[in-house]
């Protein structure tokens, strides 16, 4: 199966293909060396209460083109995604921690990660080369981000060119590398003919290596005029031979891979002063990876006839002896027998001569993984044919933790479900543990912890190692008043019915399976009735459910449909209006057994339903609002003068006829938030909202007369997620600068059952769930006079407690901790506040799954609302990062309601 996610909705012309669970990792912020980061300009909008953020858990959902292990510290590893940021591995929780959630709206392209580099000399240092597209789709240049605290905070050096984390060839690499002997020296391979770049001050400044002779010449599709397929893929990897240097002295032998089929490997033997093409190298292929086994002196190349990550019909693996200069073809199969290119490659640092490689573009029947223990002289395969079409696998694949990876498929042999993978451009053996290996696919990260069973003739177990890495692109969201709290429309994997926000759904929507769901809706007065539409290689493009999305059946469709478009359900479920791609707006009664063209509304219009009157539907196109009062049969143009440029999204208020909110526009024209109370006959603009891109509704605050309104918008000069409890008279920003997730304009909705809860779409970081600490209504800041060391309030009189405090990570000047509060009594907590006093000068920085106050050494941590109720025998957990000049010693005592807790 092939995953193809789209770039953000504003880039509808893009051909690009892409790539939440509770955020338990370090929220990060960044400072740019050439401009102030958003964090330094956002104090004009201060949240009135504290929100905590997590993902609606899906686990994975997109392409992971790179995994990087640090070679000097055990269990320190990073993963990069093409549009969803970077992650650090948390060994204690066996999960990934997101590192780039601070990327803001204006620099959304920085959520695409081209390459990662982890410093072996100083493991606290990590670097990321960021930028999503090299053409006009990305408004900003690329940058190299640097962190001295493992991604907890960042500084940025903006480059004079763009980088392409979501461009063709993004699985090659790593393009960014730190000199293992002199860590102030870094190299970066650039695309678009921009050559090789070097920093000699730890990534603060960069300059082109003018002596490097070849900027590359390969493009996926030279005939493409968009700047996407015809972009020169450039310099694609940099590898050091650490044996040619010593601590403090620059490495002399450096190898560089170039996207040039006739000249794909270059070398410097004088620390980068001069460069030359290595004689005798293979031609006719691109070297996707270049990995050097310093124990044997062998440089291994995985080669393909294209740049990937989807295409590739032929491939080879070659070995270069850096001492003798001899080249040897060590491919595991004959060239005539390949129908794929080779991509991922890794050497076992504990066992010289042991290496593994992947057939990254073997789509059918499955990807292949190869292993050699004799420097490539002989190979074995992860699976072979026993007697065609039956397979004999050396592995077992257990996806019980992420069951949707089977796609609900039951293919005929030799295909299997779930698959071993596809787009397997990155495979890494843990440099400290020969039994652990991880590899990225188009949908997940797989791994094993008993790899060496392969060599003894046994089977090894592969499982998803993807917890915490949430990479879906979200197109639409719905939160019905009953049934599942959330329904999602996603790129690549269709969407899910989320019955538990903290659990991985068992299966995506099926019957039909859609490559990407573009729109979904439910009947407001009959929430069991749900409709979804989307993109697929062939019909059908629409599905219906009568049980709130638990089960589906395919619908018919009008002739000419080529894509999903938008769809709306009548308030009582009696009919539907559909505006698909490739055909005009149509309407139906029942469940779409036949469709009739609507009149009076242009093709391609966005459609929605009134949430009370089942006969009333709305449409919007090119600045004009349309209304139907006969179930979508005919539409009449109403209000004009609305945004004619950019993306426009609108929603009707549940339970009230004719109350419509419209958000959208473009900086070159009208852009903002409008409201109509007369079914679209006229709209009034909110003067205080400078820009808005999506709008949704949630449960009203206690005592409020209007439902809570949520927007992704720019208000008071600040971009963010905002909430209003008074019909737009006042707005509160509810996210913060550590939680911005780049682009959030596709969809937003509150929860009609939980006050303050909001679901926010992202383009590569999944579905963000915001929970208010004020569960009853608008909150207020506690004010500077509040003493967090005072009694945080009594829990039930018979409530007892136990606290486990664990420091999960330490680095110079900082640490990360996790705290678990267990109810050891017989009555449930209905909200909790946990207090302690830090030893030394420790201070909390960022906290998740809770909020906190700190005065001096005294700390009070308050539940996040959603985890405030703790049953007897159950626990609530939260985590945080802190700063200290000491060693981060754990507190010795904890209190709950003034009473001492046992310390676990």
Token pair recorded at residue 115: 């390459």
Token pair recorded at residue 839: 């030893």
Closest CA to 582 of 512, 626, 533: 533
663 in Cβ contact with 670 (< 8 Å): no
d(CA 643, CA 259): 43
485 in Cβ contact with 498 (< 8 Å): yes
Angle at 180 between CA 175 and CA 186, to 5 degrees: 40
Question: To which residue do tokens 């004020």 refer?
Answer: 774
Q: What single string gives the DSSP state of each residue in 716-744?
A: TTEEEEEEESSTTSS-EE-S-TT---S--
- Annotated catalytic residue, options 492, 610, 659, 800: 492
d(CA 848, CA 769): 12
CB atoms within 10 A of CB 896: 23
Complete edge-to-edge strand list for the sheet that includes strand 207-208: 176-178, 186-189, 196-199, 207-208
d(CA 843, CA 220): 51
172 in Cβ contact with 140 (< 8 Å): no
Q: What single string gives the DSSP state of each residue in 240-256?
A: E-GGG-BTTB--S-EEE
Handedness of CA 147, 148, 150, 152 (dihedral sign): negative
Q: What single string gives the DSSP state of each residue in 668-689?
A: TS-EEEEEESSTTS--EE-TTE
Handedness of CA 113, 115, 118, 124 (dihedral sign): negative
* Residue-level length of the chain: 904
Complete edge-to-edge strand list for the sheet that includes strand 708-715: 689-698, 708-715, 718-724, 732-733
Q: What single string gives the DSSP state of each residue in 541-563?
A: -EEEESSTTSS-EE----TT--E
Please say if 82 is a catalytic residue: yes
Residues 6+ apart with CB under 8 A from 453: 459, 460
Question: To which residue do tokens 């024209």 refer?
Answer: 669
Rg, C-alpha atoms of the chain: 28
d(CA 692, CA 759): 16
User: What is the SS3 assignment for 440?
Assistant: strand
CB atoms within 10 A of CB 806: 13
167 in Cβ contact with 134 (< 8 Å): yes
E strand segments, 403-496: 426-429, 437-440, 445-448, 460-464, 474-478, 486-490
851 in Cβ contact with 865 (< 8 Å): no
- Annotated catalytic residue, options 49, 82, 305, 430: 82
417 in Cβ contact with 409 (< 8 Å): yes
Q: What single string gives the DSSP state of each residue in 816-860?
A: EEEEEEEE-SSS-EES-EEEEE-STT-EEEEEESEEEEEETTEEE
Residues 6+ apart with CB under 8 A from 220: 168, 169, 229, 230, 231, 233, 306, 307, 311
Closest CA to 641 of 599, 617, 670: 670
827 in Cβ contact with 796 (< 8 Å): yes
Please say if 492 is a catalytic residue: yes
The bridge status of strand 207-208 relative to strand 235-240 is unpaired
Catalytic residue numbers, as ranges: 82, 492
């Amino acid at each position: 199966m092939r995953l193809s996610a789209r770039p953000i909705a504003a880039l509808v012309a893009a051909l690009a293909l892409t790539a939440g669970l509770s955020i338990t990792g370090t929220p990060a912020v960044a400072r740019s060396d050439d401009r102030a980061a958003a964090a330094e300009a956002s104090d004009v909008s201060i949240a009135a209460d504290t929100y905590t953020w997590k993902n609606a858990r899906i686990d994975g959902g997109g392409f992971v083109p790179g995994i990087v292990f640090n070679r000097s510290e055990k269990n320190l590893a990073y993963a990069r995604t093409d549009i969803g940021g970077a992650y650090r591995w948390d060994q204690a929780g066996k999960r990934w921690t997101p590192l780039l959630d601070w990327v803001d709206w204006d620099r959304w392209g920085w959520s695409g990660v081209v390459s990662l580099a982890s410093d072996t000399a100083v493991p606290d240092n990590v670097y990321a080369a960021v930028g999503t597209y090299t053409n006009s789709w990305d408004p900003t240049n690329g940058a190299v981000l640097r962190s001295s605290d493992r991604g907890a905070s960042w500084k940025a050096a903006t480059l004079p060119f763009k980088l392409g984390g979501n461009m063709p060839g993004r699985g090659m690499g790593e393009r960014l590398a730190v000199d293992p002997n002199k860590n102030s020296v870094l190299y970066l391979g650039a695309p678009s003919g921009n050559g090789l770049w070097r920093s000699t001050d730890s990534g603060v400044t960069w300059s082109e290596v003018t002596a490097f002779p070849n900027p590359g010449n390969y493009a996926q599709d030279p005939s493409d005029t968009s700047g996407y397929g015809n972009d020169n893929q450039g310099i694609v990897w940099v590898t050091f031979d650490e044996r040619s240097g010593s601590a403090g002295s620059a490495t002399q032998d450096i190898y560089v891979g170039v996207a040039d089929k006739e000249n794909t490997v270059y070398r410097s033997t004088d620390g980068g002063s001069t460069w030359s093409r290595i004689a005798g190298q293979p031609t006719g292929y691109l070297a996707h990876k270049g990995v050097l086994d310093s124990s044997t002196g062998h440089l291994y190349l995985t080669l393909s006839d294209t740049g990937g990550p989807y295409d590739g019909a032929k491939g080879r693996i070659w070995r270069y002896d850096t001492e003798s200069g001899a080249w040897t073809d060590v491919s595991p199969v004959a060239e005539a027998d390949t129908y794929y290119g080779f991509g991922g490659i890794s050497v076992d640092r504990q066992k010289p001569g042991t290496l593994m490689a992947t057939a990254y573009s073997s789509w059918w029947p499955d990807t292949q993984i190869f292993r050699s223990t004799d420097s490539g002289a002989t190979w074995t395969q992860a699976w072979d044919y026993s007697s065609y079409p039956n397979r004999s696998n050396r592995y077992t694949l257990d996806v019980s933790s992420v069951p949707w990876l089977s796609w609900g498929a039951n293919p005929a042999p030799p295909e299997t479900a779930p698959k071993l993978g596809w787009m397997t451009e990155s495979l890494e053996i843990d440099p400290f543990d020969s039994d652990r290996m991880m590899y990225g696919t188009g949908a997940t990260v797989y791994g094993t912890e008993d790899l060496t069973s392969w060599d003894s003739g046994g089977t090894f177990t592969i499982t998803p190692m993807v917890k915490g890495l949430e990479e879906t692109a979200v197109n639409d969201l719905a939160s019905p008043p009953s049934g599942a709290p959330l329904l999602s429309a996603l790129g690549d994997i269709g969407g899910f019915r989320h019955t538990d926000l903290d659990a991985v759904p068992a299966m995506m929507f099926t019957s039909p399976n859609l490559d990407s769901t573009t729109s979904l809706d439910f009947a407001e007065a009959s929430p069991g009735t749900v409709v979804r539409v989307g993109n697929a290689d062939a019909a059908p493009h629409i599905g219906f459910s009568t049980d709130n999305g638990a089960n589906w059946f395919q619908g018919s469709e009008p002739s000419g449909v080529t894509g999903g478009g938008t769809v709306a359900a009548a308030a009582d479920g009696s009919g539907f209006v559909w505006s698909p791609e490739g055909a005009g707006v149509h309407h139906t009664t029942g469940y779409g057994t036949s469709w009739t063209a609507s009149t009076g509304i242009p093709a391609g219009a966005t459609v929605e339903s009134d949430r009370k009157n089942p006969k009333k539907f709305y449409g919007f196109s090119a600045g004009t609002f349309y209304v139907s009062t006969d179930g979508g049969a005919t539409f009449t143009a109403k209000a004009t003068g609305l945004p004619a440029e950019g993306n426009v999204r609108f929603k009707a208020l549940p339970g009230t006829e004719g109350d419509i909110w419209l958000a959208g526009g473009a900086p070159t024209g009208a852009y903002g938030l409008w409201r109509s109370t007369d079914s679209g006959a006229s709209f009034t603009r909110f003067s205080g909202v400078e820009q808005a891109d999506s709008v949704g509704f949630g449960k009203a605050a206690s005592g409020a007369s209007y439902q809570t309104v949520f927007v992704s918008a720019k208000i008071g000069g600040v971009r963010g997620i905002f909430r209003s409890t008074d019909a737009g008279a006042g707005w509160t920003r509810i996210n913060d600068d550590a939680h911005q997730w780049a682009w959030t304009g596709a969809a937003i909705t509150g929860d009609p059952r939980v006050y303050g809860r909001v679901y926010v779409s992202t383009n590569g970081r999944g579905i963000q769930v915001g929970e208010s600490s004020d569960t009853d209504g608008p909150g207020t800041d506690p004010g500077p006079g509040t003493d967090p060391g005072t009694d945080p309030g009594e829990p039930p009189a018979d409530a007892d407690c136990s606290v486990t405090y664990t420091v999960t990570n330490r680095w110079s000047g900082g640490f990360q901790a996790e705290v678990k509060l267990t109810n050891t009594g017989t009555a449930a907590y209905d909200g909790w506040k946990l207090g302690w006093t830090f030893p030394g000068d420790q201070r909390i920085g960022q906290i998740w799954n809770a909020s906190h106050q700190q005065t001096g050494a005294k700390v009070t941590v308050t539940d996040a609302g959603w985890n405030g109720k703790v049953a007897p025998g159950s626990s609530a957990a939260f985590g945080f990062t802190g700063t200290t000049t000491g060693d981060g010693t754990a507190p010795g005592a904890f209190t709950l309601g003034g009473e001492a807790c046992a310390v676990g």
